[in-house]
Amino acid sequence: MNVSAHRLYQNCLENHLSTLDVQRDMERAGNELLALPHRIKLAVDGNEDFTENLKELGSGLLSASKWVGGKTIDLFGKAIGAAGSGLYRAFSDNDTLIRKLTQNFSKIDDHELNLSKTTIALITANGDIGHISHDMDTLLSTLDSLDKHSKDILSYLDKQLIVARKLKGVSTAENIFAIVEEFEAVKYPAFKLPHSKGTSTYSDTLPGGKVWECVYGDGKSPKYVIGGDSPAESGSTVTLSKSEVSALLNKLDKINSMHKRLKASYDSYLSFIKSWGEMVKSVDANLSKLDKVSSSAMGEAEKLLGGEANALAFYSGFTPRVVSYTDRYIHGVLGVFA
């Protein structure tokens, strides 16, 4: 690697560490928000396996006061904003390095790679370095499914917001129950991964031997999981032609660029949170004036105003883990060509 590329690589490594830090900060802030009523269990298995168990949701998930000027929601807003900005900066630097490496390798006819067991386990699905291109395609396809699921979630949240705003004009318990019924009819979207079994959908095996899974269980509270074991393999030497190296770096660039879409998703979710908070203010102002509405109706309204825990779990729990996983993968491949 020349001096210019080496400097870029060092910068990318520094941004890699910074990216992991800000993603963890967002995850911690999201966990605090989820845990406010002490009704939601979070489980972290190992370094990467992550599950969100949301089966014990009850009424009053998040009180209106938590959405209106609460410190916890403000902390999460700042964390997701920082996570999105840091993500975009880090993966933009990756873009620059990938272009530089592509330029450098365009001058070399063949490139011999001496790969360690650790590297092969990181960048392949089953330990076969000959399948590295296929494994990149699989990861690209799975990231595209993630992007589509994120958009489906945002669309779902927008529909919820439209219905919830109707509480600004209610005057009777009957009005409230009708809106709650309409709200509950808006269904959380499925994560459309290529395989399914029972109430689960799951991906093909990804680099590092990982599998993404979404378990729907009761149909209301999805559990997002990154599981699987690293493939066993000894070190290996492989020779790649100029065109093969170019094709791999081109695919890596596409994988890297997918994260800019995640940044846009973070921004959209943050915008939704702000809109939800404004809606809660106006609805709370109306509900506080109703002194002849039953406590049960008020309880249902409060539950509705609590917000969407499933989406919060997706953005503050699963997505940061995906970012950390793919970031490690990208730098694993970059390290091969560096």
Looking at the domain assignment, is residue 133 inside a domain? yes
- CA torsion sign for 46, 50, 52, 53 is negative
| Range of lowest pLDDT (46-50, 295-299, 321-325) | 46-50
| Range of lowest pLDDT (12-21, 31-40, 138-147, 202-211) | 31-40
pLDDT greater at residue 64 or residue 95? 95
| pLDDT surpasses 90 at 205 | yes
Looking at the domain assignment, is residue 279 inside a domain? no
Looking at the domain assignment, is residue 282 inside a domain? no
Q: What are 296's two structure tokens?
A: 């049960």
Looking at the domain assignment, is residue 317 inside a domain? yes
pLDDT at 4: 53
| pLDDT surpasses 50 at 224 | yes
Looking at the domain assignment, is residue 177 inside a domain? no
Here the contacts of 309-312 (C-beta below 8 Å, separation 24 or greater) are 309/34, 309/40, 309/54, 309/57, 309/61, 309/221, 310/52, 310/54, 310/188, 310/220, 310/221, 310/222, 311/153, 311/156, 311/157, 311/188, 311/269, 312/30, 312/33, 312/34
Mean pLDDT of 24-29: 69
Mean pLDDT of 219-246: 81
Looking at the domain assignment, is residue 16 inside a domain? yes
Contacts of 60 (CB under 8 A, 6+ apart): 37, 299, 302, 303, 306
Name the domain count of the chain: 1
- Domain membership of residue 128 as a residue range: 3-142+193-263+310-337
Mean pLDDT of 301-312: 82
Mean pLDDT of 301-317: 83
pLDDT at 119: 87
**Predicted confidence band of residue 55 (pLDDT cuts 50, 70, 90):** very low
**Predicted confidence band of residue 43 (pLDDT cuts 50, 70, 90):** very low
pLDDT at 47: 30
| Range of lowest pLDDT (52-56, 264-268, 330-334) | 52-56
Mean pLDDT of 27-46: 47
Looking at the domain assignment, is residue 302 inside a domain? no
> What does 68-129 look like in DSSP terms, one character per residue?
SS-HHHHHHHHHHHHHHHHHHHHHHHHHHHHHHHHHHHTT-SEEEEEE-HHHHHHH-SSS-G
- The pTM of the full predicted model, rounded to 2 decimals, is 0.81
Rounded-to-integer distance, Cα 142 and Cα 172, Å? 47
Looking at the domain assignment, is residue 295 inside a domain? no
Q: Report the mean per-residue pLDDT for the chain.
A: 78
